[in-house]
Structure 1
Amino acid sequence: MLVSVPTPPRELLDLCAGIHLDGLPLPPLVRQPQVAARLGRLRQEAPDLFHVEEVGRSVEGRPLQLVRFGQGPRHLLLWSQMHGDEPTATTALLYLLEYVRRHREEPRVARLLSSLTVHALPLLNPDGAERFQRRNAQGIDINRDALALQTPEGRTLKALRDRLQPMLGFNLHNQNWRTAVGETRQPASISLLAPPFDAARNDNPGRVLAKKVCAVIHEALEPLIPGRMGRYDDSFETRAFGDNLGRWGTPTVLIESGPWPSAEPDLPLVQMNFVALVSALESLADGSVERADPARYASIPLNWGQGFLHLLIRGAQVHGEAGDAFVADVGVAALQVVRSGAEGPRAVVTGTVEELGDLRVFGAQEIIDAAGLLVVPLPSEGVKEGDLLPPPPREARTLRLGQPAELMLLRPVEGPGAGAGTWRVERVIRYAR
């Protein structure tokens, strides 16, 4: 008997890196027209491979498009961006579709096409994506609308589940950039969950299958991002789609994209999602998922929801809102947002001071040793590193939680020629507004 060998994760990573989708911006800037254009192009280039169908409309009338490929007896349903500001997997799904188109004649993809029928809804909340906000245009969290079904987007997803009766669903999200893996202080770049179908978090064959798929994904990604995979909290959420789909007969796999330790996180996270999805689909197509050990899923460390920072300034002199100066760590949390401008929308990273004190238990993308330095807010007028400044007044030294992370680190200047109380600007920290 011929035993299937999964595509090595690094080979999948290289395949993804070789895909360039002309005209597609970074994930935070992808909107429904760009998704529709990609799906239309796929249908034009491979009409016998892809079937595109409008399955509903958003609150503001934007089309919800479902693309299907494969002719196998086992049906899967994948959806992304039910939260409009969680865009990574929308782009990853477009990469997956292009990969299938390019490599359809190769044995692994041909087996996938003959074994599975894959239904993908790349953008479930186009109104939220347009605003880059979590909720839809009604102000409702679609992922808390599985029972009330007051959103047209939620009704569309429920109707798809009922019509297709998929054996498995993939619910694709982004999580907070402050999420760490357990207590390792590593960023939780990818987190997985096989959601429960009841409050007791029992197992049934469907949830066991979801755990096995998570084990397959963990095995594929762990060598690429060692120590940066977490397990999402599996408390039962009565209103959520993943939990209720399990009750309705379709177990789900949740993939959450989180913080990535580089200045440009979008494309690496797209690539990790691509590797995760292709590895999972291959294992389902060739049956190797049945050999996966669900105990591996249980061994994935749990997320630590507030354990990671974007910037950690260690051991600085700080002035709080009252009292004398003290030695403390300063933690900056970051958030990706979309700003409008004369040249169109752009994705930027904003930062705020969110932690102050002894922060030794936190991890961070960047850690600054600030022993002997004073950290103060950056003045509005131009200041650059290397400038010599007089001592700032007390009110200009005050550091407050929640303030924008526009800071400077000052070192006292000593020696001949230095004015009394002169400070040198050692570091300027500035995030987008």
Structure 2
Amino acid sequence: MITDIWNTVRFHELPPLPLVRHAQVEAWVRRLREEAPDVFQVETAGHSVEGRALHHVWFGRGPRHVLLWSQMHGDEPTATTALFELFEYIRRDREHPRVEALLAGLTVHAVPMLNPDGAERFQRVNAQGIDINRDALMLQTPEGRTLKALRDRLQPSLGFNLHNQDWRTAVEKTRKPASISLLAPAFDEARGDNPGRVLAKKVCAVIRDALEPFIPGQIGRYSDAFEVRAFGDNIGRWGTPTVLIETGPWPTADHDEALRRLNFVALVTALEALVNGQAEAADLGSYDSIPLNESKGLLRLVVKGAQVFGEAGEAFTADLGVAASPAVRKRAGAAVAVMAGEIAELGDLRVFGALETVDGAGLTVVPLPPEPPKEGDTVPLPPRGNCTVRVGQPAELMLLRAAPAPGLWRVERLIRFER
């Protein structure tokens, strides 16, 4: 099982994924150079706006070249670490027949962190403020020019474009979290097929079949509307079909590890399928039947049927939905990884999925006071002006239940996400 392999090569001593910076990538690249110079080759393919090296790492001696790139959006870090865990697998098990088959059949190229300046700031755009993934035609970013030049030089037969997606993304109709979404991007407005795009669809099908047992119902298909400015679409137009892997929401606190594991399984499965022929033999129906993503269809937490005070009027019964996702904040001058959230929806939320649902019957939702109580405490209901709950408000709330003593309420639960 590929998951068993990941358990033996996964990185244990890691900062949370949002805090993986260029310095960490540099250290991992140095390790490859020092410990496995017979397996890995490394070059500096270019530099970011602020002068950080854009590393091109490759292994294998096979005739079929593939190119993987990660973190062209600086706040989308999952696949960067997963790529280095893939490298660790290749380094550690280089003599195993399974790895030897990869080394003999493929030459695998990777740019593990295409936007290190954005990663430093945990922001989507680069230091110029440009979305690199919308710079395929203008090529105003040095990072975009580097990726274009590398593709033109290597002429890879397949590319892998590795991203994270909005944590509000659900799988159509099921409303489950879209933990992984796949796409073989279109290369023209007509969204037609050619042999390259058919191969990309089949690779997506192989990945879908490998991941479905681990995350049943949590695999979506990204929209294939042609984006004239985007790299994935244009790289296909330039002659290299691509597979888009978007990593999405996860319901438990161990989301960093769980999502890295899914990426590792997806990448190893895809590379092996290109070597052993399973990609070409895959059933296109397995790709076509992937349900579409539903944008903004998921919430981190929904409190169902609670009493809520709006900005005017008396309390009313409503569902309250919190949207939250990993973020980076400054605390005492240092960057820390947090789960940041706000109230995103209020009213009848039956059409939304949720990572967690709380039965709010008999409960009243109010904002946390400046000095919040503990769960189990008994408190008076705050004055009406301090009870208002509205969309866009920080997700710092308490759920109260009327206590036997008149005018007092028991704190049933505290809900606290970072601002």
Q: CA deviation at 1:422?
A: 1.8
Take 1:330 and 1:231, find their aligned partners in 2: how far apart are those partners? 28
| Displacement after TM superposition at 1:280 (Å) | 0.2
Pairing partner for 1:326 from 309, 312, 316: 316
Report if aligned partners of 1:311, 1:365 keep a CA contact under 8 Å in 2.
Answer: yes
What is the distance in 2 between the residues matched to 1:346 and 1:397?
30
Q: Check the 8 A contact 1:408/1:429 in 2, yes or no.
A: yes
Identity %: 68
SS of alignment partner, residue 39 of structure 1: helix
Q: Aligned equivalents of 2:69 and 2:60: distance in 1?
A: 17
Q: Find the aligned partners of 1:353 and 1:343 in 2 and give their Cα distance.
A: 27
Instruction: Could you list the structure 1 runs, at least 4 aligned residues long, displaced by more than 6 angstroms after superposition.
Output: none
After superposition, what is the alpha-carbon deviation per residue over 1:171-218, rounded to whole angstroms, capped at 9, x for unaligned?
Answer: 000000010111111100000000000111100101000000000000
Secondary structure of 1:95's aligned partner:
helix
Could you say which residue in structure 1 is the equivalent of 2:92? 102
| Counterparts of residues 95-134 of structure 1 (less than 5 Å) | 95-134=85-124
* Maintained 8 Å contact 1:191/1:255: yes
Counterpart selection for 1:91 from 64, 81, 84:
81
- Cα deviation for residue 423 of structure 1 reads 1.4
* Cα distance in 2 for residues equivalent to 1:321 and 1:302: 36
- 1:241 CA drift (Å): 0.2
Instruction: Tell me the residue number matched to 1:423.
Output: 409
Matches within 5 A, 1:184-195: 184-195=174-185
Residue in structure 1 matched with residue 280 of structure 2 by the alignment: 290
Q: CA deviation at 1:23?
A: 5.1
Query: Aligned equivalents of 1:90 and 1:237: distance in 2?
Result: 24
Q: Which residue of 2 aligns with 1:243?
A: 233
Question: How many residues of Structure 1 are paired with residues of Structure 2 in the alignment?
Answer: 419
Instruction: Look up the equivalent residue of 1:215 and give its one-letter code.
Output: A
- Report the secondary structure of 2:9's partner residue: coil
Partner of 2:162: 172
Give the C-alpha shift of residue 343 in structure 1: 7.9
Q: Distance in 2 between matches of 1:124 and 1:314?
A: 42
Determine the C-alpha separation between the residues in 1 that align with 2:10 and 2:250. Answer: 21
Distance apart, 1:126 and its partner CA: 0.1
Secondary structure at the residue paired with 1:311?
strand
- Give the match's secondary structure for 1:210: helix
Letter in 1 for 2:410: R
Provide the residue aligned with 1:18 in structure 2.
8
The residue number in structure 2 matching 1:372 is 362
Selected match of 1:67 from 39, 44, 57? 57
Which sits farther off after the overlay, 84-93 or 288-297? 288-297
Q: How does 1:144-155 map to 2 (within 5 A)?
A: 144-155=134-145
Q: Secondary structure at the match of 1:212?
A: helix
Q: What secondary structure does 2:331 align onto?
A: coil
Residue 44 (structure 1) aligned with residue 34 (structure 2): yes
- Residues 345-424 of structure 1 correspond to what in structure 2 (within 5 A)? 345-414=335-404, 418=405, 420-424=406-410
Q: 2:248 aligns with which of 245, 251, 258?
A: 258
Shift of 1:432: 2.4
Report the equivalent of 2:127: 137
In structure 2, what is the equivalent of residue 3 of structure 1?
none
One-letter code aligned to 1:77: L
| CA apart distance, 1:122 | 0.2
Q: 1:318 to 1:24 in 2, by over 3 A?
A: closer
**1:26 positional shift:** 2.7
CA contact (8 A) 2:395 2:418 kept: no
Query: In the alignment, residue 413 of structure 2 is paired with which amino acid?
Result: R
In 2, distance between residues paired with 1:377 and 1:126?
A: 38
TM-score (norm 1): 0.95
Give how far 1:24 is off: 3.8
State the shift of 1:341 in Å.
3.2
Letter in 2 for 1:262: T
Which residue in 1 is equivalent to 2:418? Answer: 432
The one-letter amino acid of 2:395's match is A
State the one-letter code of the partner of 2:2.
Answer: L
Shift of 1:319: 1.0
**Amino acid paired to 1:422:** L
Partner AA of 1:394 in structure 2: R
Q: Which of 45, 67, 81 is the equivalent residue of 2:71?
A: 81
- Mapped to 1, the partners of 2:200 and 2:32 lie a distance apart of 29
- Aligned position for 1:5: none
Alignment partner of 1:85: what SS?
Answer: coil
